[in-house]
Amino acid sequence: MHPQAHLLWKAPRWALAVLLAVLGMLGPFSIDTYIPAFSGIAAALGATPVQMQQTLSAYLFGFAFMSLFHGALADSFGRRPVILWGIAVFTLASAGCALSQTIGQLVFFRALQGLSTGAGIVVSRAVIRDMFPPAQAQKVMSQVTIYFGVAPAIAPIVGGWLFVHTGWHSIFWFLTLVGVALWTTNYRLLPETLHLDQRQPFNMRHLVRGYVQLGSSARFVLLALASGVPFNGMFLYVLSAPAFLGDHLGLAPTQFFWFFVLTISGIMGGAWLSGRLAGRIPPKRQIRHGFLIMFTVAVLNLVANLLFPPHAAWALLPIAVFAFGWALMVPVVTLLVLDLHPERRGMASSMQAFVGSTANGLVAGVIAPLVMHSTLWLALSSLLMMGVGLVAWVYLHHRWPDIGRNAVNL
């Protein structure tokens, strides 16, 4: 934590949470905004469904790769310059997407977007821990998750409206304007939260030593799996939204927002409760509650898809409840990750993001295309991905029973 954190930000705590949440939600916003336009982009560029899926995979793999470096750069050069450069590159990449004339060009610029948007998500987590002690950090992390949830709910509505009224190019011009606004706002308001004494030398030997230290830590790997992989239990449905919502549930693109509103409401509700529980119950109990909710609803979702034909009247609710369970536990797990190695919080955030986004990329590029044709397979895949995180947490809990036992261990 920065020794003079109270002097760096004198506005209300919620205002900093909003600023950091906007940084974090830039990534999902740039995904969810253009999903309603999938069919229109494919028709305009002569792209196949597999090629369109590659625009998601390129973004997610670009995000995963660069996530390894955003945190390390932020540990060496400071949080502020990494965020500002990331937003600048995202803005240029968004303009490139808008100007794309072929599917290959679109895939390239989507990859460039992915390479840049991770800066906001990765570094904002480190900023929170720079600025706040453990219990307050959990509350702020929960607030960030709440505000973070607003964007994916709004994004498909905005994207669907822009696509219907002004064409798919306007979606990426809109993201360009968002990038300009974010860069200007952060240039004016975001403080540098990394103290000079806490900066790490930037050289290859030091970086490799840090990656080896984190990558060889069983506790770190298990926590990263517990936080990152279960997210795909609901993200799979986001990636499969054109098929799940349009083909299986018979919803029009302008009706997709119901899915996102319900899911994000679940995220916001779980994050709100997580903040309310900060310092009141042991973190490990809160994590257990989150996994219990996810496991129960994932099993019920699988059973429902076995017994009943898919229908919007019931098929959207399990995903929202799953999102609630995930948001209840993920702020706590994230702080446990960041505090395993306090001197390398930026790198820890990077590695955590790398694990999660690599899983996201595999789901987008491999799993989603294989299972999106069947609601039963979607439900089974969701349960299995949640199971990976659950097994990681159960093993971690038994191997190191003291982790997360009380609030001071955050």
Query: CA 101 to CA 55: how far, in whole Å?
Result: 14
Phi, psi of 23 (to 5 degrees): -65, -45
Burial class (CB in 10 A: 0-12, 13-18, 19+), 253: buried
Q: Higher pLDDT residue, 318 or 19?
A: 318
Query: CA 256 to CA 358: how far, in whole Å?
Result: 26
- CA 174 to each of CA 95, 166, 204, 352: distance values in angstroms, whole numbers, following the listed order: 9, 11, 38, 30
pLDDT of 243-299, one tens digit each? 888 889 888 866 777 887 888 889 889 988 988 887 788 888 899 999 999 999 999
The proportion of the chain whose per-residue pLDDT surpasses 70, expressed as a percent, equals 94
Query: CA 120 to CA 51: how far, in whole Å?
Result: 27
Q: What is the pLDDT of residue 406?
A: 60
Q: Radius of gyration (Cα) for the chain, nearest Å? A: 20
pLDDT of 289-325, one tens digit each? 999 999 999 999 999 999 999 998 899 999 999 999 9
Residue 148, pLDDT above cutoff 70: no
Average pLDDT of the segment spanning 105-124: 89
Query: CA 327 to CA 290: how far, in whole Å?
Result: 8
Residues 6+ apart with CB under 8 A from 390: 226, 230, 291, 294, 295
| Domains of the chain, start order | 10-202 (1.20.1250.20), 206-409 (1.20.1250.20)
Residue 135, pLDDT above cutoff 90: no
